[in-house]
Structures are given as structure tokens and as C-alpha cells.
């Protein structure tokens, strides 16, 4: 059986690509780290992969807002390729800056008649960069491929623009895959448990198919027990909480 192939898409300012690639490799995929210019020029083809990953970082320095420039590149230069990729049943994962990119392309929730995304991410309510570990609850009713079999997660966040905001009309139809919680699993807990002030404590969402998933926390930063901040005092847990997100994706993609 051929191995699952995953494409980690990079742009200037991406800085979590190596970690995302390593996580997918550990999950059994063959991974290629590719600059977006190679996809635009078709020197590398999306059709050769079952999974596309947009990792964390600060693409193009977030100079026009987090993820906005890369989102425009994807929407205007790769829109047709992405449509074909999704319609063929393949998977897309966006982590942190990748969530920002997917939201601003409209891939996750669509665009309004004016071309404005119906869902986006903006500056944290705290007004500062948040770098901490958070508790997360998976939504059992979600169609999300990546979170199947997951109940709770403990993962790090690191972002300045992670607050999910959405038009009121789409909130009831959003497929929320992950919620921020406190240690008691309360999905309405405020700051610092919800580190950015996201509406309804949303930490991750997927599209209507369950195959496009975006989240602000970093699962690639906790795939081994020793990456836990208290692994010595609480004992090593193997694998780390984030690893199942990657194994779920690879398992699903084997049938493509």
C-alpha cells in the first residue's frame, strides 16, 4: 500500500513547518515541505497529495493582518486548485496562522456577497500575545475527521490574533470541533482559559464536510510526553495529546 503523502505549505514567515512535518512523519505519512510559489508555478502539484497543511507562524510578517496576504495568494492564484483538491475528498489542516489563512480565504465558512469572509480572527481581548497551555474539549457531534475519538486535549497556544469572530447568521451552522475550557471542562470559562476571547469559546472549527479543519492551539507541539510542561512532576504520558489529530488524518487519507 502506498503511503499517505502530506504537503506542508510554507511562505515567508512560516515557522512551525518543521514541527508539523515531523508530526505527520511520526504518524506514518511521507511529507514534503513546499513553498507556496512552487504550487503557484505548478513546479509542485497539489494533486500528488492527500493532505495539505498550513502551519503556524507569521506569514509575510502579518503586515496586513494575520494570514491575510497568504489567504489572498491562495484565493486568487490557487482557488481552482484548492477547489479540485477539496472536491476530490482530500484533507486540509490549518494550525494557528493556518487557521487565520483558511478563515480569510473563506474556505472554512464561505464569503459574504461583498467578498468579505463570514468568519475571521482578530486581536486577542487581552491586547497582547498569548503564550500558554490551554484545556480543550472536543465536540462529539462534530463531523471533523481530525478529532474523531478525542474527548479532551491539553495544548499550547501562541498567538496575538486568535479571537474568532463571526457573522450572527452563520453561528448556528458552524461545525465547532474544539472549545476552550477550564480544568473542569466548562466551555464558557473566560480568560485565561479562553486565551483570546473567541466567541462561544471556539478553539477549532471544520467545514461542512469535516475534512477541512482549523484550530488555534498547536497540536504539533505536543506529540511526545516530554513536551508536556509538567512531565517530570506528573509523569510521562505517551503519546502527547496532539498526536491523535495527525494519526486520525493519516488513517483517513489511506483510503483516498
Listed by start position, the domains of the chain span 5-253
3-state SS, residue 142 = coil
Cβ-based neighbours of 58, under 8 Å, separated by 6 or more: 13, 15, 66, 97
Euclidean distance between CA atoms 76 and 188, whole angstroms: 37
Q: Give start and end residues of each alpha helix (H) in the chain.
A: 17-26, 36-40, 68-77, 79-87, 97-105, 231-234, 243-253
Task: Indicate the angle between helix axes 243-253 and 17-26, nearest 10 degrees.
Answer: 60
Q: What is the pLDDT of residue 115?
A: 67
More confident residue, 62 or 144: 144
pLDDT band at 176 (very low <50, low <70, confident <90, very high): very high
pLDDT of 1 higher than 80: no
Mean per-residue pLDDT over the chain, rounded:
94
pLDDT band at 167 (very low <50, low <70, confident <90, very high): confident
Of all residues in the chain, what percent carry a pLDDT higher than 90? 88
pLDDT band at 225 (very low <50, low <70, confident <90, very high): very high
On the 0-12 / 13-18 / 19+ scale of CB atoms within 10 A, 42 is exposed
pLDDT of 103 higher than 60: yes
25 is an active site residue: no
Query: pLDDT for 113-129, tens place per residue?
Result: 666 788 999 999 999 99
Euclidean distance between CA atoms 252 and 146, whole angstroms: 9
Q: What is the pLDDT of residue 114?
A: 66
Selecting among 159, 193, 218, 228, the annotated active-site residue is: 218
Q: What is the pLDDT of residue 113?
A: 66
Which grid cell sits at 172?
448556528
Which grid cell sits at 215?
484550530
In total, the chain counts a number of residues equal to 256
Sign of CA dihedral 52, 22, 225, 191: negative
- 212 touches 108 (CB < 8 A): yes
Q: What is the pLDDT of residue 118?
A: 84
18 is an active site residue: no
According to DSSP, the residues that pair with 65 across neighbouring strands are 63
Selected from 2.40.50.140, 3.40.50.1360, 3.10.28.10, 3.40.50.880, the CATH number assigned to the domain covering 5-253 reads 3.40.50.880
Which pTM was predicted? 0.96
206 is an active site residue: no
Q: What is the pLDDT of residue 111?
A: 63
- 155 touches 221 (CB < 8 A): yes
Selecting among 16, 96, 144, 206, the annotated active-site residue is: 96
pLDDT band at 7 (very low <50, low <70, confident <90, very high): very high
Euclidean distance between CA atoms 60 and 13, whole angstroms: 5
Selecting among 19, 73, 161, 220, the annotated active-site residue is: 220
What's the rounded mean pLDDT across residues 52-79? 94
Query: pLDDT for 235-250, tens place per residue?
Result: 888 999 999 999 999 9
Amino acid at each position: 500500500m502506498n503511503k499517505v503523502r502530506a504537503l506542508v505549505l510554507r511562505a515567508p514567515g512560516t515557522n512551525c513547518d518543521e514541527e508539523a512535518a515531523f508530526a505527520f512523519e511520526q504518524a506514518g505519512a511521507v511529507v514534503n515541505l513546499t513553498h507556496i510559489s512552487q504550487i503557484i508555478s505548478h513546479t509542485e502539484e497539489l494533486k500528488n497529495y492527500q493532505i495539505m497543511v498550513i502551519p503556524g507562524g507569521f506569514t509575510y510578517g502579518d503586515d496586513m493582518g494575520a494570514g491575510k496576504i497568504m489567504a489572498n495568494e491562495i484565493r486568487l492564484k490557487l482557488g481552482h486548485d484548492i477547489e479540485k483538491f477539496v472536491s476530490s475528498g482530500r484533507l486540509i489542516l490549518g494550525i494557528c496562522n493556518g487557521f487565520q489563512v483558511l478563515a480569510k480565504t473563506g474556505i472554512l465558512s464561505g464569503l459574504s456577497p461583498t467578498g468579505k469572509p463570514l468568519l475571521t480572527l482578530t486581536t486577542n481581548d487581552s491586547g497582547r500575545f498569548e503564550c500558554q497551555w490551554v484545556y480543550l474539549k472536543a465536540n462529539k457531534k462534530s463531523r471533523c475527521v481530525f478529532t474523531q475519538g478525542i474527548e479532551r486535549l491539553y495544548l499550547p497556544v501562541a498567538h496575538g490574533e486568535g479571537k474568532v469572530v463571526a457573522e450572527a447568521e452563520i453561528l448556528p451552522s458552524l461545525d465547532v470541533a474544539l472549545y476552550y475550557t477550564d480544568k473542569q471542562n466548562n466551555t464558557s470559562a473566560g480568560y485565561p482559559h479562553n486565551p483570546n476571547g473567541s466567541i462561544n469559546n471556539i478553539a477549532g472549527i471544520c467545514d461542512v464536510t469535516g475534512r477541512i479543519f482549523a484550530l488555534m492551539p498547536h497540536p504539533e507541539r505536543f506529540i511526545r510526553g516530554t513536551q508536556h510542561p509538567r512531565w517530570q512532576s506528573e509523569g510521562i504520558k505517551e503519546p502527547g495529546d496532539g498526536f491523535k489529530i495527525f494519526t486520525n488524518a493519516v488513517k483517513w487519507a489511506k483510503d483516498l
